[in-house]
């Protein structure tokens, strides 16, 4: 394998990983707090379209990201309202978020569908580091959203496992009643983490439309929200493990494209389907309870907290 | 004087409330979408008027039924699974595989007398849908793998299979469109008299009625309900939850696969690339709105068919056709929120 090919595989795998990792880390926090949001795909599409619209009409990436964050926060608040305050079924609410986001993004994005924004997050080479052979150009000649992801992964690990707030977060998904007795506001904390998760998911969408494919079309995240949900489950709710999973998926999808040029007789659809096949296989092998293995899911996941039922 | 407004759990929900609450929240959803329409520069009243006008005519009625038939089937499929808390969101893919099995058999299968051939097409499309679901059902039943993610991933895979066949080996020769050729006219299901409504509607109604009786009158239906309420209790009572999971998910897939049969034998008589066009997701909304009741699914499916054809009509006055999916999603969101008022009531403490 030539060095340039290797560099292109690693660097594309890293960008691909960024498209799903923001959402996966956000969802890990949300599920650790006890709320499962299956509407990631819809929120991601809303993030992707709102960011792209601002990029087209205002030509300003900072403003685009601010709008994306606001959209994510708004959708997160709606989802928390349904699942925390109204105690609605989380699966059904997730489906509602999915259809709402898919439909609304398609409707709003009609005007920018196929329009070239001529604006995207361009790679910025980091001095010195980017000169390291192979790893330099593939890891340190990336756009700012990827660099931000490099920071978020270790920070989220430290937050979850090394801080007091992280300990409270983990308790929130395991035994909210105990936290409530200790004087913490379970509802407010769940609102905060669900909204945080939704913001991260919207950012994931913006990574797709502004740093990965650089266009908008209907349903263009093509299942990345679901791959993020799958990553959460098979990483056993651990951001670092999710990162390795995301890189693996990135590598699979890019290698598919490269292998395709070597075997032109194989239909292109086979390679396009690869990431989904990989998700199914990985999900079965990592989360199937063979010989009575126990799930690592937070104990209170999907159970609405109701003070009357304490 | 009333102060201290708070929510209190209702002890029982009246039938009227159970029907009225979703209706009110559906209307609220239309109001909300009206604001969105206004935000992109359309006149919401004009848009809604145009939509109503499209639907309120005889041809509007028949076209709504035609568009609604696949949606009724995916709605039935999703609600059947959810009756046992199985979240089958793969109806799109099951519909795709069902239609491929059906068209494959119709075009390349043996020549037979028409009734027999149509019966076989009916069966193979169910088989296709069931097989599509089986890939998710088996890991779910055996190892407890999350069926939501599995069925969703399978959607993408089967749509790629469909894409491959429609642009590749099964493509109609000398045609620009990615579709198969039409099946022979003698294998078409007839229209009901001169009504312009295809008789496949009767098949759909029959299935809904059968499902209704399955849930309310059979032991299996009862067992499903027990498992839904408490899998553990069902296990102790000697029911095999794993077996039921496998069968219910496959049956759910088979019902979704029938949407392929409805298209091939009854409506368009061929298969096109991306034939399901999101019907599986609309099915989720329909199932939920219908309260998982198969008979109500028929009605809601028809209404969503009407929504789709009217959304195509408003494209002429410059509204994106995505308005249909937007309204569907908003309805779902609002009705989920509305559920709360069925379970709780707002009361004020009197002083």
DSSP of B186-223 = GGSPPBSTTSS-BTHHHHHHHHHHHHHHHHHHSHHHHH
A88:B143 CB<8 A: no
Phi and psi angles of residue B262, each rounded to the nearest 5 degrees, phi first: -60, -40
State the nearest Cα–Cα gap between B149 and chain A, in angstroms.
7
pLDDT of residue B3: 59
Q: Which of residues 24-83 of A touch B (CB under 8 A)?
A: 38, 42, 78, 81-82
pTM of the predicted model as reported, rounded to 2 decimal places: 0.91
| Ranges in chain A, pLDDT < 70 | 1, 291-294, 310
Q: Which of A134, A139, A164 is nearest to A149 (CA)?
A: A139
| Nearest CB partner across the interface for A226, out of B149, B157, B329 | B149
Digit-coded pLDDT (tens) for B248-267 = 999 999 999 999 999 999 99
Interface of A with B in 194-233 (CB under 8 A): 218, 222-223, 226, 229-230, 233
Asked if A107 lies within 8 A of B339 by C-beta distance, the reply is no
Nearest to A287 among B145, B322, B333 (CB): B145
CA–CA min distance B118, chain A (Å): 31
Nearest CA in chain B to A81: B337
Q: Which of B89, B139, B326 sits opposite A103 (nearest CB)?
A: B326
Count of the separate structural domains present in chain A = 1
Give me the domain span that covers residue A77: 3-309
The vertex-A203 CA angle with A106 and A47, nearest 5°, equals 15
From the list B150, B288, B320, the residue facing A110 with the nearest CB is B320
Taking chain B (351 residues) in consecutive chunks of 10 residues, what is each chunk's mean pLDDT?
Answer: 67 81 93 92 92 92 95 97 94 97 95 94 97 96 92 95 93 89 92 90 97 95 91 88 95 98 95 92 92 95 94 87 89 88 72 48
Question: Which residues does chain A have within 8 Å of residue B329's beta carbon, measured at their own beta carbons?
Answer: 42, 96, 98-104
* Cβ neighbours of B146 in A, within 8 Å: 233, 283, 287
Q: Which residues contact residue A221 at a Cβ distance below 8 angstroms, ignoring those fewer than 6 apart?
A: A19, A41, A44, A45, A48, A205, A208
pLDDT at residue A299 in the model: 86
Coil/strand/helix, residue B46? helix
Q: For B168, which of A91, A267, A295 is closest by C-beta distance?
A: A267
**In chain B, domain spans:** 69-302
The CATH number given to whatever domain includes residue A187 is: 1.10.3470
* Chain B interface includes A96 (CB < 8 A): yes
Q: Say if B281 is an interface residue toward chain A (CB within 8 Å).
A: yes
In this structure, what DSSP letter does residue B269 have?
Answer: S
Output the pLDDT for position A139. 87
* Contact yes or no for B333 and A100 at CB 8 A: yes
Whether residue A110 lies within 8 A of chain B, CB to CB, comes out as: yes
Facing residue for A290 by CB, picked from B143, B168, B282: B143
Calculate how close chain A gets to B144, using CA atoms only, in Å: 6
Question: Complex ipTM above 0.90?
Answer: no
pLDDT at A9: 85
């Amino acid at each position: 394998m030539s060095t340039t090919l290797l560099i292109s595989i690693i660097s594309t795998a890293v960008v691909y990983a960024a498209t799903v990792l923001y959402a996966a880390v956000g969802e890990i926090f949300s599920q650790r707090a006890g709320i499962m949001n299956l509407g990631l795909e819809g929120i991601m599409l809303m993030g992707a379209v709102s960011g792209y619209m601002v990029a087209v009409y205002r030509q300003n990436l900072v403003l685009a990201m601010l709008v994306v964050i606001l959209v994510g926060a708004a959708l997160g608040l709606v989802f928390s309202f349904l699942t925390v305050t109204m105690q609605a079924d989380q699966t059904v609410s997730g489906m509602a978020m999915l259809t709402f986001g898919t439909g609304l993004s398609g409707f709003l994005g009609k005007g920018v569908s196929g329009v070239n924004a001529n604006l995207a997050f361009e790679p910025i080479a980091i001095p010195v580091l980017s000169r390291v052979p192979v790893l330099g150009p593939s890891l340190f000649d990336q756009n700012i959203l990827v660099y931000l992801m490099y920071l978020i992964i270790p920070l989220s690990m430290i937050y979850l496992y090394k801080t007091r707030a992280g300990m409270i977060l983990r308790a929130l998904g395991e035994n909210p009643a105990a936290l409530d007795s200790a004087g913490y506001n379970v509802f407010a904390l769940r609102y905060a983490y669900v909204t945080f998760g939704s913001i991260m998911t919207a950012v994931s969408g913006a990574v797709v439309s502004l740093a990965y494919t650089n266009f908008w079309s209907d349903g263009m995240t093509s299942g990345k929200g679901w791959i993020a949900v799958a990553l959460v489950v098979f990483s056993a709710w651990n951001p670092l493990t999710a990162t390795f999973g995301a890189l693996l998926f990135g590598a699979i999808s890019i290698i598919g494209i490269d292998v395709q040029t070597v075997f032109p007789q194989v239909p292109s659809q086979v390679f396009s389907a690869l990431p989904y096949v990989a998700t199914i296989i990985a999900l079965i092998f990592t989360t199937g309870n063979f010989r009575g293995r126990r799930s690592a899911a937070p104990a209170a996941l999907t159970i609405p907290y109701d003070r009357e039922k304490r | 004087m009333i102060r201290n407004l708070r929510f209190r759990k209702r002890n029982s929900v009246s039938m009227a409330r159970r029907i009225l609450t979703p209706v009110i929240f559906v209307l609220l959803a239309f109001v909300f979408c009206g604001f969105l329409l206004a935000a992109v520069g359309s006149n919401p009243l004009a848009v809604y008027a145009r939509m109503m006008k499209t639907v309120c005519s005889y041809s509007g009625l028949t076209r709504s039924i035609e568009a609604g038939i696949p949606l009724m089937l995916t709605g039935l499929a999703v609600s059947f699974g959810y009756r046992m808390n199985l979240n089958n969101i793969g109806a799109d893919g099951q519909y795709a595989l069902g239609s491929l099995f059906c068209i494959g058999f119709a075009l390349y299968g043996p020549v037979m007398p028409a009734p027999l051939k149509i019966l076989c097409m009916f069966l193979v499309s169910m088989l296709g849908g069931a097989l599509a679901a089986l890939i998710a059902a088996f890991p779910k039943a055996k190892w407890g793998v999350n069926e939501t993610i599995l069925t969703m991933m399978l959607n993408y895979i089967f749509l790629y299979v469909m894409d491959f066949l429609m642009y590749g080996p099964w493509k109609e020769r000398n045609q620009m469109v990615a579709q198969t050729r039409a099946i022979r006219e003698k294998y078409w299901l007839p229209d009901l008299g001169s009504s312009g409504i295809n008789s496949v509607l009767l098949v759909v109604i029959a299935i809904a009625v059968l499902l209704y009786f399955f849930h309310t009158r059979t032991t299996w239906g009862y067992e499903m309900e027990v498992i839904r309420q408490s899998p553990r209790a069902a296990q102790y009572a000697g029911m095999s939850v794993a077996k039921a999971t496998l069968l219910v998910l496959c049956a759910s897939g088979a019902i979704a696969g029938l949407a392929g049969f409805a298209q091939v034998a009854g409506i368009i008589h061929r298969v096109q690339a991306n034939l399901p066009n999101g019907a599986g997701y609309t099915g989720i909304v329909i199932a939920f709105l219908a309260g998982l009741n198969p008979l109500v699914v028929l009605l809601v499916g028809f209404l969503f068919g009407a929504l789709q054809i009217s959304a195509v009509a408003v494209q002429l006055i410059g509204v994106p056709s995505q308005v249909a999916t937007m309204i569907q999603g908003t309805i779902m969101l609002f009705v989920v929120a509305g559920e709360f008022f069925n379970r709780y009531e707002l009361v004020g403490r009197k002083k």
